[in-house]
Chain A
């Protein structure tokens, strides 16, 4: 496998299309389930737990965590797709092998998977946004502009997941991925509580998590329609995503070629 094979081409869309075709068979059940689940989350945390929380800079707790949930759903969906899903394609169903016997390169396959992770992230986040809308928690029409950010989150966690899928000796390996990568971001990326007032160490840790920057952008857009330090957050997010994409390609190529 030479270096040129690692660079994706527009043929990645053929891989994406395969994932879409496969998705067609189960999306209705999934959407219905997700929709209910998202509403439950919002009710339990936003309104149940939220009663104990005083207003945060003039917004309710439900308003605060809404955008956090949108971003974390994008993270969860793309992580499942790129860990369990990709491992299944790589090792169990041998879908990657079939693609490599067709004129698709490793770069096409990896990028096709990542495009699909981004797509799934957008679908999941959209369902959550609809729930937020129904509860009247969207404060600005700029909320629609979160989708490119959500797509980036999908690419980023898709890449991280593929890194793990490439080195995982079995499915159980992914519990490391979830406890070391996903859970810390889920809790400390300013999803459930503001950073202000946290101990300095924890605050720093939180700011180093790439997801924090996505949450800041998405929260700003959904509630206020503007984002402080937008370019800085976007730069961190895009930079991390690009770096992780390179790692993902290397990891998968080490698994698939000899």
Chain B
């Protein structure tokens, strides 16, 4: 049985002048799935999101969301889709509550009918006590939670979040994660972009890594890490560690040098550690391979500014 696709993009492209912001990507997100789009700044993640709700026009490819073509049915799609933008787009001069009902009104939900839903949602994101507060008096984390509540006002089938936890403190971040997991178990399809690999590992069934407008790899985070990086990583810090490297000859390790650090990627670290210790090497770090390793290996370590 073929699962229903809530997002189906084929050969999606978008250029700004000479810059190919999105360069022919295929993206399929199944109903009820949580998909994470990863990538350094400028990889094209936000452009993909803007195309999904029709704010940016694609140059090429096919794009269907919730079963309809975005070019011709953008409004109908937005009626069933919630969007949590990267930047605060709340009405700063209105209260928390007024922000919610004004947004409900954009969807044509009458005020009386939206009351109960607003109460529910403010409770869901733990902002009930702030209902009469002006937006300017909210913290960054509260604003982000309100943006999430606002995006759910019309009970969407698909929720899109552009860097939902950037700039939040750990408490706020964990609250957002918990809420997103609850929404997912309620059957909501979720697409999110993030810089936080832990976030992607925690929430996403599948991730796709983007760089320079292309989708480099795609799959369940744990599988991707195992296949592309290995099980364990050993880091050796400090210059002049040629002796240590020489001791590892013949193990067929994947070695990467970045700045003053050597990264040894391997299936199992046990033998590597043994050899390092017998070569007199005492200072190293042995840890499980993570999505961050995969990300940096794929997209490079240089800064993207």
Contacts and interface: CB of A to CB of B under 8 A. Distances in A.
Contacts of A102: 78, 103, 106-107
A22 B76 contact: no
A258 B16 CA distance: 8
B79 A103 contact: yes
Contact of B85 (A2, A101, A104): A101
Contacts of B87: 94, 97
B54 A93 contact: no
Interface string B78-110: 110001010111111110001000110111100
B85 A97 contact: yes
Contact of A104 (B56, B90, B91, B106): B106
A1 interface: yes
A57 interface: no
Closest 6 CB pairs of A and B: A102-B106, A98-B89, A101-B83, A94-B89, A103-B78, A103-B75
A14 B79 CA distance: 15
A93 B92 contact: yes
Contacts of A2: 71-72
Interface in B54-73: 54-57, 71-72
A257 interface: yes
Query: Which of A97, A99, A100 has the largest count of B CB atoms less than 10 A from its CB?
Result: A100
Given A2-B71, A102-B106, 13 more contacts: A2-B72, A17-B102, A18-B106, A22-B94, A94-B87, A97-B87, A98-B90, A98-B106, A101-B83, A103-B75, A103-B106, A104-B106, A258-B50
B107 A97 contact: no
Contacts, number: 76
21 contacts: A1-B57, A5-B74, A5-B75, A11-B108, A14-B108, A15-B106, A17-B105, A18-B91, A22-B91, A22-B94, A93-B91, A94-B85, A94-B89, A95-B91, A97-B85, A97-B87, A99-B106, A101-B151, A105-B75, A256-B55, A258-B57
User: How many interface residues does chain A have, given as a range?
Assistant: 20 to 34
Given A18-B91, A93-B91, A94-B89, A101 B78 contact: yes
B57 A257 contact: yes
A21 interface: yes
A175 interface: no
Interface string A1-42: 110010000010011011001100100000000000000000
Contacts of B91: 18, 22, 93, 95, 98
A257 B76 contact: no
Contact of B106 (A14, A97, A256): A14
Contacts of A98: 85, 89-91, 103, 106
A66 B74 CA distance: 49
Contact of A1 (B54, B98, B106): B54
A103 B153 CA distance: 13
A94 B88 contact: yes
A100 B281 CA distance: 59
Contacts of B57: 1, 257-258
A257 B87 CA distance: 17
A93 B106 contact: no
B284 to A, nearest CB: 48
B153 to A, nearest CB: 9
Contacts of B55: 97, 100-101, 256-258
A100 B51 CA distance: 12
A93 B108 contact: no
Contacts of A21: 94, 98, 102
A103 B106 CA distance: 7
Given A5-B74, A22-B91, A95-B91, A257 B56 contact: yes
B143 interface: no
A99 B92 CA distance: 14
B206 interface: no
A97 B105 CA distance: 16
Nearest to B101: A21
Nearest to B55: A100
A164 to B, nearest CB: 22
Interface string B165-180: 0000000000000000
Contacts of A97: 55, 85, 87, 89
